[in-house]
Amino acid sequence: MKVDEYILDAKSNFRIKAKLEGLQFNEEVIPTGKQLSNRRTYLRKKMFEDFAKNTKGGFIKWIIDNHHEFSKAGPHDFMVLSHKLENDDFVLVVSTKSLLNNGKKKSRDLTGFVCSDTTHKLISCQLKLTTVATATINREIADIAYVIHAHENIETFNFAFTTIKKAIKDFLDYNWKVKVKIFFYIIYFF
């Protein structure tokens, strides 16, 4: 089905409709924006169900195989800080010793400001990649962790930031006090 291919290729509803019109489909068979959105939701749910069924064991094995204990990890060894793999949700939070130290150092230098930036088109299966970072005194970006996730919502970001805060506390013995602004919400971690 052409529409499903366009949806899985991360085309917007507007582009899909324009493409179908360009292929001279009869206007009666071109789906509405609401129909395209509903189909997109269905396909995403189906994809995550299949992903969870087919790869849960492999994913858990990968986490175990790639897990580094903080005390044995080198400064640039990636560590899985936390993960969530469910039928309709996926979150993976990763970092390194040196990146977590950025959060600790910059929190001491500044007011503990944290920013995040999400890239939507980086991962082909419509997952998002978010970089969690802070700024240096020279206003340079200092990454803290990376989050690969399915949904861009308050629950996902709360999970990620709570995981990062816990990792800094557990691994670096530092109480990370940051203010995190997510969408229009302000969350204070104390």
Can you give the chain as a three-state secondary structure string?
Answer: CHHHHHHHCCCCHHHHHHHHHHCCCCCCCCCCHHHHHHHHHHHHHHHHHHHHHHHHHHHHHHHHHCCCCCCCCCCCCCEEEEEEEECCEEEEEEECHHHHHHHHHHHHHCCCECEEEEECCCCCCCCEEEEEEEECCCCCEEEEEEEEECCCCHHHHHHHHHHHHHHHHHHHCCCCCCEEEECCEEEECC
> pLDDT truncated to tens, each residue of the chain (190 aa)?
578 887 777 678 888 888 888 888 888 888 888 888 888 878 777 766 665 565 666 667 667 666 667 777 778 777 888 888 776 777 888 888 888 888 777 655 555 566 777 776 555 566 788 888 887 777 777 888 989 888 888 888 889 888 988 888 888 888 877 665 554 444 444 4
How do the domains of the chain map onto residue ranges? 1-65, 69-188
Q: What does pTM read for this prediction?
A: 0.61
